[in-house]
Structure 1
Amino acid sequence: MTIRKTGVKIIFVLTIFLSYLSVQAQQFNDYFTEQTLRLDYIFGGNKAQQHAYLADLVQLNRWDGRKGNLSTTPIQGNGQIKVYDAATDKLIYVLPFSSLFQEWLTQEESNQTTKSFENSYLIPYPKAKAKVQVSFFDAQRKETILLTHLIDPQDILIRKATTNDIPYETIHKATTANPIKIAIVAEGYKDTEMNEFMEYARKTVHSLFQHKVFKKHENAFEIVAVKSPSKDSNVSVPSKNIWRSTAVQSNFDTFYAERYLTTSHTKLLHTLLENIPYQHIIILSNTDVYGGGGILNSYALTTTKNEQFEPVVVHEFGHSFAGLADEYFYAVDVFENKAIEKIEPWEKNNTSLVDFQSKWADMVAKSTPIPTPDSMLGTVKIGAFEGLKGNGLYIPSHDCRMKANTPKDFCPVCSRALEEMILFYTGK
């Protein structure tokens, strides 16, 4: 009798679960095709006033992003792309992001001049007319809509993806139905140096899966190595008056910070990938100089020949994939690493203690004082340690991939945030 009842319960739960999956699949198919719409924007302005302009629309042949959790996001980001069905005004897709432009707005230069930056974002291709909103969040987490524009999927001026002959190789296969697709892109590697790039691409995969949360979900990732050739070896170093012709035109000295390696040419980057399966991007640059950068839903970029390559590439991916914040701070930094009074930052791994319950309070032992004194370093696994004297931000641990290169893994707080993002993307 008990067995029969249990069987009925199992069948009932299974029916509900299958119905849930059906609704999720139906929702995607109701509003989107199995293609991608790339949105190319120009963000411009200064500290006082910001603008977003639509530069181009590109239709890619396939959709490699999520098919569930379409109208939600587990993180706010510094901005968001929101897609609405034009006929019903129903929200049908959300993409959080950060951008170099918003980082530049924290610089003194933004008080004195006006600049613009390229930005490219991927959304599923709409079946019917859609409304797209581009919004920024300020330091107080107030949202401002910078741009609203309509998309007609039948518009003849939406450019079709070009056919390029850039080869790529699958270096890690997924077994899940809706995997997270990552493209590892060669930067500063000539055609004759691609074997060396492939070696570092494989090291990237190996390093990623040395971290427990990624190892646990190893089958959820599909990773390709893109053999994008550069005319010159190495990358540009403006402070030494070295400018090289490379695949995605990256350079050190971003915002005059010596180690900050980025590319502002996102349209060029995405054009290289138009016929390649991807949603997330890791760029490997051919230099032994220490440095890199990671920007949420844009790219992670790091150098390959430096001895710290393997921990750094995973650290930068933590930024670009899950919006994790740095847990190290300097008195003078590229960004404003300072708490805003009465505001809780949106990143999952730092806190101003304004709303600590929304962060990792549930992971801290009841006997651990908050804030946690540095004298307890090594004796408690998770607390709320001061990031930098006087900056008002607190971090979970000093033993974490987002803190330093020496720890072997992410702390439990960052691991939980990463797992939440993995499950979000895979629709679980």
Structure 2
Amino acid sequence: MKQICCIVLFFFIVVEVHAQNFADYFQNKTLRVDYIFTGDSKQQAIYLDELSQFPSWAGRQHHLSELPLEGNGQIIVKDLATKQCIYKTSFSSLFQEWLTTDEAKGTAKGFENTFLLPFPKQPVEVEVALYSPRREVIANYKHIVHPDDILIHKRGVSHVTPHRYMLQNGNEKDCIDVAILAEGYTEKEMDLFYQDAQIACESLFSHEPFRSMKDKFNIVAVASPSTDSGVSVPRENQWKQTAVHSHFDTFYSERYLTTSRVKAIHNALAGIPYEHIIILANTDVYGGGGIYNSYTLTTAHHPMFKPVVVHEFGHSFAGLADEYFYEDDTMTDTYPLDIEPWEQNISTRVDFTSKWENILPSDTPIPTPIAEKKKYPVGVYEGAGYSAKGIYRPAYDCRMKTNGYPEFCPVCQRAIRRVIEFYIPQ
């Protein structure tokens, strides 16, 4: 599915002069920050909604002031007293993708967005910035967080959603914690959900490099109950009461299954260690979506469930771009052809040295003819990122291109491995 507008990835890393020591600045707790991103195609703004506290921190304790992926937006946390950067993270958002739609030309909307930060010991300044496809700042917002603020809502203490570990290799400090969340499963259907979560887990770790780096992960299935079974399908006038209020027809695209009720997702996960989120929808209708550092959402009972959940997690976890394309469609509103995309697995060749040029055989023709795909497993094949012309992918086929291909291509595998190693240093 189309991911949220330009998901990611320059693996140049901006490093502070002195690496941050986690314990010097942060407590072993999570600061959840809820924002509302608002506006239309002409003007955008960011507003603070709510602050919450979770009882433990499951995120990284290394590379605190570095970014492995550039994202469509960034959050910078600075110590208020010294103005020193002590934490950074990046993301993409459903709001930013919506800005490219026709609806955004005449309608203003607000979208929920939630981010997890380490809980500071001392007051901090938090800055949020949103970028356009041309890397221009379109909205910027700064606010101060005082850790002793009595209005910071303590969550995940008195009530924790029932959950079960599918895979547990260590505590949250030593592993990447992925939560699989139930959507559209009633209380009576939770055994089915746990079966589906196990299938998703097995499918993910059947692919390299997840397979060989399986010991870096914890996977927890979270049984968030829904009043109704199934999910909403607006085109059929079906509206269900479900855990995270997901629905098909996002932006009037039939297959695009998402939710804009992001706070409901994080409320259901409060008190459970997590960094990344997979949401399984209890339906056999084909669809899904993946948003970098937000969530993967996919249907659990369609025949293509296994490959699709892995594809979407490639978006949300590793910031991989879609490698498929539409004939006669340049879609330059998503990927301007005179700018190098952030994603590691597509290129406009504006700055190809930052991509996979260093692993190409010296005799590789550029562009690489499809007729020579067997000779060049890694090449420069035209057609990617929804465009038939001007954007290139590293392999003829890949898990990020078609559901039928069994693996990630070598460039995607390298990108995923780099993200894993960023979170869990060797």
| TM-score > 0.5 by shorter chain | yes
2:72 paired with 1:78: yes
CA distance in 2, matches of 1:348, 1:165: 37
Whether the 8 Å CA contact 2:100–2:333 is kept in 1: the answer is no
Whether the 8 Å CA contact 1:118–1:264 is kept in 2: the answer is yes
Gaps of 5+ in 2: 1-16
Whether the 8 Å CA contact 2:45–2:139 is kept in 1: the answer is no
Whether the 8 Å CA contact 1:65–1:124 is kept in 2: the answer is yes
Q: Deviations over 1:397-416 (max 9, x none)?
A: 13211111111110010101
CA distance in 2, matches of 1:332, 1:113: 29
Aligned to 2:371, the other structure's residue is in SS state: helix
Q: Cα distance 1:375–1:334, how it changes in 2: closer, same or farther (>3 A)?
A: closer
Q: Deviations over 1:347-389 (max 9, x none)?
A: 1111000000100001111111122222222331011111166
Match of 2:111 in 1: 117
The CA deviation at 1:171 is 1.0
CA distance in 2, matches of 1:195, 1:136: 40
Whether the 8 Å CA contact 1:338–1:392 is kept in 2: the answer is no
Match of 2:100 in 1: 106
Name which of 185, 191, 207 aligns with 2:203: 207
Name which of 159, 164, 167 aligns with 2:162: 167
Match of 1:6 in 2: none
Mapping for residues 2-401 of structure 1, pairs under 5 Å:
27-144=21-138, 146-162=140-156, 163-175=158-170, 178-331=174-327, 339-387=335-383, 390-401=388-399
> What letter corresponds to residue 54 of structure 1 in structure 2?
L
Residue-pair matches, total: 406
Whether the 8 Å CA contact 2:330–2:388 is kept in 1: the answer is no
> What letter corresponds to residue 392 of structure 2 in structure 1?
Y
Q: Cα distance 1:309–1:181, how it changes in 2: closer, same or farther (>3 A)?
A: same
Whether the 8 Å CA contact 2:112–2:262 is kept in 1: the answer is yes
CA distance in 1, matches of 2:255, 2:50: 31
CA distance in 1, matches of 2:170, 2:160: 27
Whether the 8 Å CA contact 1:302–1:309 is kept in 2: the answer is yes
> What letter corresponds to residue 148 of structure 2 in structure 1?
Q
> What letter corresponds to residue 166 of structure 2 in structure 1?
I
Q: Deviations over 1:79-131 (max 9, x none)?
A: 01111111111111111100000000111211111111000000000110100
Whether the 8 Å CA contact 1:50–1:146 is kept in 2: the answer is no
Q: Cα distance 1:236–1:121, how it changes in 2: closer, same or farther (>3 A)?
A: same
Q: Cα distance 1:175–1:266, how it changes in 2: closer, same or farther (>3 A)?
A: same
- Of residues 95-104 and 374-383 in structure 1, the stretch that sits farther from structure 2 once superposed is 374-383
CA distance in 2, matches of 1:110, 1:366: 46
The CA deviation at 1:339 is 3.8
Whether the 8 Å CA contact 2:100–2:334 is kept in 1: the answer is no
Name which of 408, 421, 424 aligns with 2:422: 424
CA distance in 2, matches of 1:87, 1:144: 28
- Of residues 268-277 and 331-340 in structure 1, the stretch that sits farther from structure 2 once superposed is 331-340
The CA deviation at 1:144 is 4.7
Q: Cα distance 1:369–1:292, how it changes in 2: closer, same or farther (>3 A)?
A: same
Whether the 8 Å CA contact 1:66–1:427 is kept in 2: the answer is no
Aligned to 2:326, the other structure's residue is in SS state: coil
Aligned to 2:307, the other structure's residue is in SS state: helix
| Higher share in helix | 1
Whether the 8 Å CA contact 1:133–1:145 is kept in 2: the answer is no
Q: Cα distance 1:29–1:335, how it changes in 2: closer, same or farther (>3 A)?
A: farther
Aligned to 1:340, the other structure's residue is in SS state: coil
Whether the 8 Å CA contact 1:339–1:391 is kept in 2: the answer is no
Whether the 8 Å CA contact 2:397–2:409 is kept in 1: the answer is yes
Aligned to 1:387, the other structure's residue is in SS state: strand
> What letter corresponds to residue 130 of structure 2 in structure 1?
F
Higher Cα radius of gyration: 1
Aligned to 1:342, the other structure's residue is in SS state: coil
> What letter corresponds to residue 123 of structure 1 in structure 2?
L
> What letter corresponds to residue 162 of structure 2 in structure 1?
P
CA distance in 2, matches of 1:373, 1:148: 49
Q: Cα distance 1:359–1:334, how it changes in 2: closer, same or farther (>3 A)?
A: closer
Aligned to 1:202, the other structure's residue is in SS state: helix
Name which of 400, 408, 414 aligns with 2:412: 414
TM-score, length-scaled by structure 1: 0.91
Whether the 8 Å CA contact 1:338–1:393 is kept in 2: the answer is no
> What letter corresponds to residue 55 of structure 2 in structure 1?
N
The CA deviation at 1:165 is 4.5
Whether the 8 Å CA contact 2:31–2:54 is kept in 1: the answer is yes
| RMSD of aligned residue pairs (Cα, Å) | 1.9
Q: Deviations over 1:125-169 (max 9, x none)?
A: 011010011101212223355100111101111111153242000
Whether the 8 Å CA contact 2:330–2:389 is kept in 1: the answer is no
- Of residues 286-295 and 108-117 in structure 1, the stretch that sits farther from structure 2 once superposed is 108-117
Q: What percentage of residue pairs aligned between the two structures are identical?
A: 51
CA distance in 2, matches of 1:334, 1:81: 31
